[in-house]
Structure 1
Amino acid sequence: MSPAVSGTARLGRRTKDLTQRLEAGDIAVIDHEDIDRVAAEALVERRPAAVINAAASTSGRYPNAGPRILVEAGIVLVDAVGPALFETLRDGDAITIEHGAVHRDGEVVLHGEAQDDATVAAAQEAAREGLSEQLELFAENTMEYMLRERDLLLDGVGAPDVRTPLHGRSVLIVVRGYHYKEDLATLRPFIRENRPVLIGVDGGADAVLDSGLRPDMIIGDMDSVSDRALRSGAELVVHAYRDGRAPGLERLSELGLEDRAVVFAASGTSEDIAMLMADEKGASVIVAVGTHGTLEEFLDKGRAGMSSTFLTRLRIGSKLVDAKGVSRLYRQRISTLQLVLLALAGLVALGAALWSTEGGQALFQIVGARLDGLLSAFTLLFEPRPAGP
């Protein structure tokens, strides 16, 4: 059973927005059904004392990894508290969690289901039984999306004109997804040598800035990207609904950036339209960091996003290079001590090779004489001087 924990409640219905202001030791209060891996890793990075979820962290739709990540990180997880959670608690409340009960001012105000390794494992095992139904829905949504977006998928119709030149260039698309930080760091030599066009998808633009680079283009609905990134000088492409509505333009208007933006109306996800944009504008190769490509990741995105991503990858074909996991593939396995010892061994071998030749022996004698002279000059500085008459 989880121990009692206390902290300051921080409320946020959108987990990705809450993590931006969450401090270590706070108690995150969220409403996130089927907590996905990316959201869980973002929470763990902020080191909260606990997470209280109004919804079910695992609904049974599929075996999502988020709850397991939280529990393994030692974060107390209280599940399925219900809609009263956001009606009862206020941001900044001092609360205590014990055995699934939420205490405030010494009174129990809410109850939930405390999660641990056993309950999370049982929920995931039960959720695996629902995968067949999800695959059927995936097939249905794929057909619907294909018919609805056939012009965009087949001919690129609908992609707006942009100022950033993409034709014949490498393009690096950064999404704040699985292992994006490690993979982006590993790709630094590629970025340095090839100078690709850097496209940040919403919060991916902040990831580019955090790595010491500057995005050339930002694509998305502009809801999870910082003002700093939007003002970085990157070209802005606002992802709009298929009917032309673009809520992201309102934020850009408030920042005075609306005149610098273009609108891309499509029903896919923002990372999908970033790939389609790069392909339609003639990019030679598209390198993707943090994008979704596995069954688990498709399900994490929800049924609405699965089909568009699947078909977009088929549309781009061999032009797409997925950098997911490249950091784990090329992880350094040689310690600093081993490198130092290797260097010393090389110097010893070089010295032995030089000593075996007459020229090398003469060189050692000259160096030895110089060192002896320096040592003698140094010792003279500390010898006592004779007293005057």
Structure 2
Amino acid sequence: MKFAVRSRPAPSLPGVHGPARVHRRTASLLGCLHEGDVAVVDHVDMDRDTAQALVDAGVAAVVNASPMISGRYPNLGPELLVQAGVLVVDSAGPEIFDRLKDGAEVRIDEGVVYAGDTLVAPARELTADGVRAEMGRARSGLAAQLESFTHNSTEFLRREQDLLLHGHGVPRTATDIAGRPVVVAVRSHGWEDELRGIKPFVREQRPVLIGVDRGADALASAGHRPDIVVVTGASDDQPSAAVLRKAKDVVVLVERGAPRSTTEHLERMGIRPLRFETTATTEDAALLLASAHDASLIVGVGMHATLDDFLDRQRGGLASTFLTRLKLGPDLVDAAALPRLYDGAVRPRHLLGAVVAGVLAVGAAISVTPVGQQWVDDVSPTVSSTTSDLIDNVRGILP
């Protein structure tokens, strides 16, 4: 017997349609999204990492209760969303969370959000031209942001001077890091290409692999097993339980004096986490962990390298990132640059050198055998005669 399948009728009203996924905290919403959803968030100055996560989830539209670009600094999230073809509307107002239920079918047309035929909130649709114009205005306000950043850096250095200057407080890991290269992976914009680019390095050098938050899942999805996973105790951005259980060390960032309950959820999974008491970001804590254990080289995957990337970070993490980069200095190499320095390829001159060395080694071995000595005795008169004739010819030519 065949049963009739109910198909969803095509929307007759104009605009983008989809089920709304509503949450004030964007990080809490990311794990609940599916392709075609409309993400409703409250996120001032959306950064590029969050925007990339929304694009990866396949959302059809993003409705922001707050401005996508406030003008404080040129954040990169809105530009990425618009370039990916995601409809972006912002400034919908906080009342949208009271008027719109999670899972409700919504429609967005010309910046206006509807639930069925009911107008939920007027908003503003962001276009590529609009984003470029606002980004230009935001860049003019960087001076004030940099002044605030200088103050924050001084405060962070005061709090973390023992960690930054002497490496105090870094947990001792079961993974041996001293003298070995380390790859620190963050699930960020462009991490897939960077991981592919350093495959020869990982295959031949066998570095210690450190996954930061969901960067551990990124390593696992690329076929690697993280040796160390660094997470924040109260974060919604933690990797899967399977990856955590397979890691040799799980390092959890906690505030100083935090109770044991902060890590109880990991202990219930059979994991014995290492507490790392610091106010640094998880990304920077992973770098400091590798540096404190005398890594020979640290390769950063998904790190923030340019000024725009740097300023696009969460505001509280700017000082941590800046001072950590100063601490590591030349020991830190960006994964995007590594293929230019090391590709693991064998050059023709390497093969030629190996062949010549092999021939010389075989010749030396044969020459000490009775047969080899007989060959040398037979060849020596011929070589001596040829050499004498060559010398006589040269003398005849010379005046």
- TM-score range (shorter-chain normalised) is 0.7 to 0.9
Distance of aligned partners of 1:29 and 1:209 in 2 relative to their CA distance in 1, 3 Å threshold: same
Query: For the residues of structure 2 that align with 1:86 and 1:187, how far apart are their CA atoms?
Result: 44
Query: For the residues of structure 1 that align with 2:64 and 2:92, how far apart are their CA atoms?
Result: 6
Unpaired runs of at least 5, structure 2: 1-13, 344-399
Structure 2 residue aligned with 1:21: 32
Q: How many residue pairs were aligned?
A: 327
What is the TM-score normalised by the length of structure 2? 0.77
Matches within 5 A, 1:99-114: 99-114=110-125
Query: For the residues of structure 2 that align with 1:316 and 1:245, how far apart are their CA atoms?
Result: 31
Query: For the residues of structure 2 that align with 1:329 and 1:38, how far apart are their CA atoms?
Result: 27
Unpaired runs of at least 5, structure 1: 332-389
Structure 2 residue aligned with 1:369: none
2:269 to 251, 255, 260: 255
Distance of aligned partners of 1:326 and 1:320 in 2 relative to their CA distance in 1, 3 Å threshold: closer
Structure 1 residue aligned with 2:198: 187
Structure 1 residue aligned with 2:330: 318
Is the Cα–Cα contact under 8 Å of residues 74 and 312 in structure 2 kept in the other structure? no
- SS in structure 2 of the partner of residue 164 of structure 1: coil
1:192 to partner: Cα distance: 0.6
1:4 to partner: Cα distance: 1.0
1:264 to 272, 276, 279: 276
1:88 to partner: Cα distance: 2.1
2:243 to 224, 229, 232: 229
Distance of aligned partners of 1:248 and 1:289 in 2 relative to their CA distance in 1, 3 Å threshold: farther
- SS in structure 2 of the partner of residue 8 of structure 1: strand
Is the Cα–Cα contact under 8 Å of residues 10 and 18 in structure 1 kept in the other structure? yes
Structure 1 residue aligned with 2:217: 206
Query: For the residues of structure 2 that align with 1:330 and 1:22, how far apart are their CA atoms?
Result: 39
Residue 50 (str. 1) matches residue 61 (str. 2): yes
Is the Cα–Cα contact under 8 Å of residues 182 and 208 in structure 2 kept in the other structure? yes
Is the Cα–Cα contact under 8 Å of residues 52 and 77 in structure 1 kept in the other structure? yes
1:246 to partner: Cα distance: 7.2
Query: For the residues of structure 2 that align with 1:37 and 1:324, how far apart are their CA atoms?
Result: 17
- SS in structure 2 of the partner of residue 231 of structure 1: helix
1:63 to 66, 74, 88: 74
Query: For the residues of structure 2 that align with 1:245 and 1:270, how far apart are their CA atoms?
Result: 19
Query: For the residues of structure 2 that align with 1:237 and 1:177, how far apart are their CA atoms?
Result: 20
Q: Which has the larger radius of gyration?
A: 2
Identity of aligned residues (%): 45
- The CA RMSD measured in Å over matched residues stands at 2.2
Is the Cα–Cα contact under 8 Å of residues 173 and 201 in structure 1 kept in the other structure? yes
1:105 to partner: Cα distance: 2.7
Is the Cα–Cα contact under 8 Å of residues 141 and 303 in structure 1 kept in the other structure? no
Structure 2 residue aligned with 1:303: 315
Query: For the residues of structure 1 that align with 2:201 and 2:285, how far apart are their CA atoms?
Result: 23
Is the Cα–Cα contact under 8 Å of residues 221 and 247 in structure 1 kept in the other structure? no
Query: For the residues of structure 2 that align with 1:53 and 1:120, how far apart are their CA atoms?
Result: 15
Letter in 2 for 1:266: T
2:180 to 169, 173, 193: 169
Query: For the residues of structure 2 that align with 1:115 and 1:197, how far apart are their CA atoms?
Result: 43
Matches within 5 A, 1:52-91: 52-91=63-102
Could you list the per-position Cα deviations for residues 331-384 of structure 1 after superposition, in whole angstroms to 9, with x for gaps in the alignment?
A: 9xxxxxxxxxxxxxxxxxxxxxxxxxxxxxxxxxxxxxxxxxxxxxxxxxxxxx
